[in-house]
Amino acid sequence: MRTALRGLAIVALLSIGAACSGGGNSAKTGPDSAALLQAGSEDADWIVPGKTYGGNRVTGLSEISPSNVSQLKKAWITDVKDAGEEEASPIAWDGTVYVSTSHDNVLALDGKSGALRWAFGYNPAYELQYPVNRGVGLANGKLYIVTQDCRLIAIDAATGKQSFDVPACHDTSNTWYSTAAYVYKDRVIVGTSGGDLGGSGLVSAFSAQDGSRLWDWHTVAQPGEPGHDTWPGDSYIHGGAAVWAGLSIDQETDTLYAAPGNPGPNLTEYGRKGLNLYSDSVVALDISGAAPRLKWYYKIVPNDVHDNDPSMPPVLFTGNVNGTNRQLLAVGDKAGDFVILDRTTGKLVSRLAVSDQQGIFTTVPTLKGTFACPNHGGGIEWNGGSYDEAVNLFFIPSTQECAVWKIVYPAMVPYVPGQPYAAGPLPKRRPATGVLTAVDVGTGKPAWVKPLPYSAQGGVLVTRKGLIFTSDASGRVYAFEPKTGRELWHDDVGASIVAPISAYQGADGHEYLVVEAGEAGNQQTPNLPKSQSARVVAYSLSTAPTVMNDATGQPAATVAGATTSEGGSATPAPATVSAPYTSAQASAGSKIYFKQCLSCHGAHLQGVSGPALSGPGFAHSSLSVAQLYGIVSTQMPLTAPGSLSKTDDAAVTAYILAYDCVKTTGAAPLSVSIAAGLSAVKPGSASCPPKPSPPKATTNASPNSSTHSP
């Protein structure tokens, strides 16, 4: 039976959590469906990832105001052991804050102190792309999370004990989950990731009771469906259009809104030229019946060859246009387009570029490279923005960053399960800055624009007391005045923020703002300061000293290869294959790896903000040495793909092979020509970490001194 590594918080810790919860979760089994539908009017808690099903992050809590925001300080900081790219929207319920971490662990923290109440540890069987999770769903005393290895898991919110664990993907070779889980009327509704891997996007609903699948809606029009003729030949099979960032629901009409991402293959139209419905679109689905029904769609980006996903989950709001209140929807894409639609009809209300757009719609990536803006990490990202009805402004953060777009496949792109399905690697990251734009909903034009020193991807929290809070990727949190954009306060959390801010009322009566921070991961740019560690940070006006909590009792990302099988057996047997590389080459590769690859893939190749390169998770990808070398040489490092020399590419590949227990023939070093001929040689699921070097002897060391190898 498949099990998860859970219960790492010891029994005594669970008892302390229950005793200190001030009534805590044991006193309630909610929120039920009725409470979730009223989430917008209950501000003491934050029980839906986007505050409400409409996704507009607004709080009515009133303690923090323009007159006292300068006194806001850190109330508590809790370190996160599973350090990675932390993207989760914190959920707050009945005195407890729930966050997921990069490798699908879940932490329950005391809302007043940040102390650990329980921890649910999870060990994904594999990781296909980026180890991230955008948050849990909550309903009827259970938390729900979808994982990188395609599972839907329900967890008892009071104890952290697993309720069920079911498979949730049809194809695990190119599909995974990073989205938050949305629990709506006893259904867990989620969208798949994997569009950049050649997966075909789905929005799926599962029973909140037992995890059984209720329905699927294909984001790529299937044979016999309207829109299928927009996919030439069989290009629809790996058509992409993932719904990875999130979704929204108009609960008055049972209409679900999603924004499927870019088509596949990425960075080229070769073999798929056409509208490619419903990629790069907003879709409205009637989910009142047994199966979804498409009501309308709006195509945001035609002919996408620059990874221009509409990554922002649609935000629903009632805004004033030309003196009339209208039911609206806002969405943004990575090209920097900010679009407002009539959400009843799908008709365009306004469209505005909030990022520098150069060549993004007039050029295509080439073998030599073309310059275009924004870069793939620029424009509007997955946390989007929020609307303030008091000033009729929509606040949208975005990132200014350009790139040179190159491809390596000018014609047909080969499909390799589990690997990027693209004409080339995503471009090298460049120094980036942020912009916060206040869009006048009445005119569709900017009311004001506020430059930020780093990428702006943390979304916006609006308060009804006349404040907006946002962040940048350096880890700085800001408070601005909505009407003018005047900065009123800022503070630094010490780690990169690419997650949204939630608000709740603590047991002490104070209003709290909470955010998760960690590595910048695939949003790392050369100008970002180094992240100190992953953490959850809460702010309040309390004058009590800041509470510092370490990561004791929390699960960490499992070290590659240090797992047991379902039957409890020891680490899998080492690979029996061998390859031509030398020990000296692997040793040189380790130095390059620790300089260029460590931050994304980890000291033990376990995966941090990039996938694991060793162990069962890596073996799931079934890569040959030839394919592994090709990936290292063309796609790595993520922030500057293709920037290493051929000698360095071969050395890093040799280091990975040695770590993965592939024996060296010792005859000759690995090279481009040799690697190309190793298409039948594949690493296994074991890990053979190099033994640490013994301390170097010193001649004049004092009795109390010690030396360590690098």
* Residue 416 φ/ψ, nearest 5 degrees: -120, 115
CA dihedral 124, 141, 551, 563 (to 10 degrees): -20
Residue 558: per-residue pLDDT: 62
* Predicted confidence band of residue 5 (pLDDT cuts 50, 70, 90): very low
Show Cβ contacts of residue 472 under 8 Å, excluding neighbours closer than 6 positions: 434, 452, 453, 454, 455, 456, 457, 458, 478, 497
Mean pLDDT of 335-354: 98
Residue 622: per-residue pLDDT: 79
Cis bond upstream, residue 451 (ω within 30): no
* Predicted confidence band of residue 564 (pLDDT cuts 50, 70, 90): very low
Residue 361 has pLDDT above 50, yes or no: yes
CA dihedral 297, 298, 304, 309 (to 10 degrees): -80
Mean pLDDT of 160-166: 98
3-state SS, one letter per residue, for 252-267: CCCEEEECCCCECCEC
Residue 4: per-residue pLDDT: 37
Mean pLDDT of 444-469: 98
Rounded Cα gap, residues 686 and 614, in angstroms: 7
Query: 């505050």: which residue's tokens?
Result: 51
Domain residue limits, the chain:
11-411+419-548, 578-676
CA dihedral 558, 561, 567, 570 (to 10 degrees): -120
Mean pLDDT of 613-629: 81
Sign of CA dihedral 296, 302, 303, 306: negative
Overall pTM surpassing 0.85 (yes/no): yes
Show Cβ contacts of residue 428 under 8 Å, excluding neighbours closer than 6 positions: 403, 404, 639, 640, 641, 642, 643
Rounded Cα gap, residues 79 and 109, in angstroms: 11
**pLDDT averaged over every residue in the chain:** 89
Beta-sheet strands, E only, within 46-90: 58-59, 73-79
CB atoms within 10 A of CB 339: 23
* Predicted confidence band of residue 418 (pLDDT cuts 50, 70, 90): confident
Which strands make up the sheet holding 393-400, listed edge to edge?
Answer: 386-388, 393-400, 433-440, 445-452
Rounded Cα gap, residues 607 and 610, in angstroms: 5
Rounded Cα gap, residues 199 and 702, in angstroms: 61
Going from the C-alpha of 383 to that of each of 333, 377, 472, 522, the distances in angstroms are: 11, 13, 12, 15
Residue 295 has pLDDT above 80, yes or no: yes
Rounded Cα gap, residues 364 and 371, in angstroms: 9
* Predicted confidence band of residue 28 (pLDDT cuts 50, 70, 90): low
Residue 58 has pLDDT above 80, yes or no: yes
How would you classify the pairing of strands 324-332 and 337-342? Answer: antiparallel
Rounded Cα gap, residues 473 and 486, in angstroms: 20
Mean pLDDT of 686-696: 68
Domain 578-676, what fold?
A: Cytochrome Bc1 Complex; Chain D, domain 2 (1.10.760)
Residue 693: per-residue pLDDT: 52
* Residue 588 φ/ψ, nearest 5 degrees: -65, -40
Look at phi and psi of residue 262 and say left if phi exceeds 0, alpha if psi is from -120 to 50, else beta. beta
Residue 606: per-residue pLDDT: 76
The vertex-481 CA angle with 480 and 482, nearest 5°, equals 105
Residue 129: per-residue pLDDT: 80
Domain 11-411+419-548, what fold?
A: Methanol Dehydrogenase; Chain A (2.140.10)
Same fold, 11-411+419-548 and 578-676: no
User: 541 in helix, strand or coil?
Assistant: coil
pLDDT in tens, 597-613: 887 788 888 777 677 88
- In residues, how long is the chain? 710
* Residue 398 φ/ψ, nearest 5 degrees: -155, 170
Nearest to 113 by CA among 21, 204, 209: 21
Going from the C-alpha of 291 to that of each of 205, 287, 631, 674, the distances in angstroms are: 9, 6, 40, 52
Residue 567 has pLDDT above 90, yes or no: no
Residue 254 has pLDDT above 80, yes or no: yes
